[in-house]
Amino acid sequence: MNVARGGAAGLFPADADAELLQRGMGETLPLVAGIALVVCFAGTFLVINGKRLRLDLEAAHAQVRQLEGILPICMYCKKIRDDQNSWLKLERYLTDHSNAQFSHGICPECAQQAELDA
């Protein structure tokens, strides 16, 4: 227990407040001003960083268009029925309702079937 008290006394001397007051305003004021300045800089940094993060989040949210719910899709041709009861190709529907873009190719199974059909 004495070791703990001795260590704490070394880090936080009991007369630290008295010593600080005895130094006078000439030595204490710059220390207090320095601490206040560091606190102000840290607070300003946190406020600016918080605003920047909020703006980044709002920008990302504005870019996101999400498809949700049940999509009525034809089991044969894969067209999707929209709100106006029109049937649109899958690619057209997804392009209209999201930021998705398509590039077309042919899978190996379809390529093999196309060769057989030719």
Same domain, 55 and 85: no
- Three-state helix/strand/coil letters over the chain: CHHHHHHHHHHCCCCHHHHHHHHCHHHHHHHHHHHHHHHHHHHHHHHHHHHHHHHHHHHHHHHCCCCCCCCCECCCCCCEECCCCCEECHHHHHHHHCCCCCCCCCCHHHHHHHHHHC
Q: Which pLDDT score, from 0 to 100, does residue 15 have?
A: 57
Q: Which domain holds residue 109?
A: 80-117
pTM of the predicted model as reported, rounded to 2 decimal places: 0.40
Question: Would you say residue 74 lies in a domain?
Answer: no
Q: Which pLDDT score, from 0 to 100, does residue 14 have?
A: 54
Question: Would you say residue 93 lies in a domain?
Answer: yes
Tens of pLDDT, residue by residue, the chain (118 residues): 444 455 445 555 555 555 655 666 666 777 778 888 888 888 888 888 888 888 888 877 766 666 677 889 999 999 999 889 999 999 998 888 888 888 889 999 999 998 888 7
Q: How many distinct structural domains can be found in the chain? A: 2
- pLDDT tens by residue, 10-38: 555 555 555 655 666 666 777 778 888 88
